Amino acid sequence: MKIHHIGIATRQLKEATALWQDALGLEVDSMEDVGEQGVRVAMLPIGETHIELLEPLTPDSPVGKFLDKRGPGIHHVAIRVDDIRAALGQLKEKGVRLIDETPRIGAGGCFVAFIHPSSTNGVLLELVQQQ
Ligand code: ZN
């Protein structure tokens, strides 16, 4: 297992990339809209992992609501797994509360699923399986 990325909620990707790209010297590897989740996503590789900057496409999207409640900041931590369905089955068996019982398609065409923060000490966890 590895950390696949750390998701950071921002009001504007442009502003956020000014820090990560211009001031810290990371590069934006990809940028895309994930319509299903209502976010624009910029991926910046850092070592073996990525910083994932998120900008809501609409105020009522999950990231839009997060920004309203808590302001910009760390939104989730994503763990890379080889078999997301097996990982979800194992978590469910152990009584962990899942947001997604079945994987959906996330940024980069990966399979993703979210684990509820009430089961993870308040940290929204994302599982990622690369295709
Ligand atoms: Zn993510």
Per-chain residues with Cβ under 5 A from ion ligand 1 = 7, 52, 78, 126
Where are the domains positioned within the chain? 2-129
pLDDT tens readout for residues 11-67: 999 999 989 999 999 999 999 999 888 999 999 999 999 999 999 999 999 999 999
Residues 6+ positions from 119 with CB-CB distance below 8 Å: 95, 96, 97
Q: Which residues share a beta bridge with 128?
A: 80, 112
Cα(65) to ligand 1 centroid in Å equals: 16
pLDDT, residue 111, reads 96
**Angle at CA of residue 55, ends 53 and 61, nearest 5°:** 125
Mean pLDDT of the chain: 95
| Dist CA 24 CA 21 (whole Å) | 6
Q: What pTM does this model have?
A: 0.92
Cα(50) to ligand 1 centroid in Å equals: 10
CATH of segment(s) 2-129: 3.10.180.10
Q: Are 99 and 113 in contact (CB under 8 A)?
A: yes
Cα(93) to ligand 1 centroid in Å equals: 24
| Dist CA 124 CA 73 (whole Å) | 12
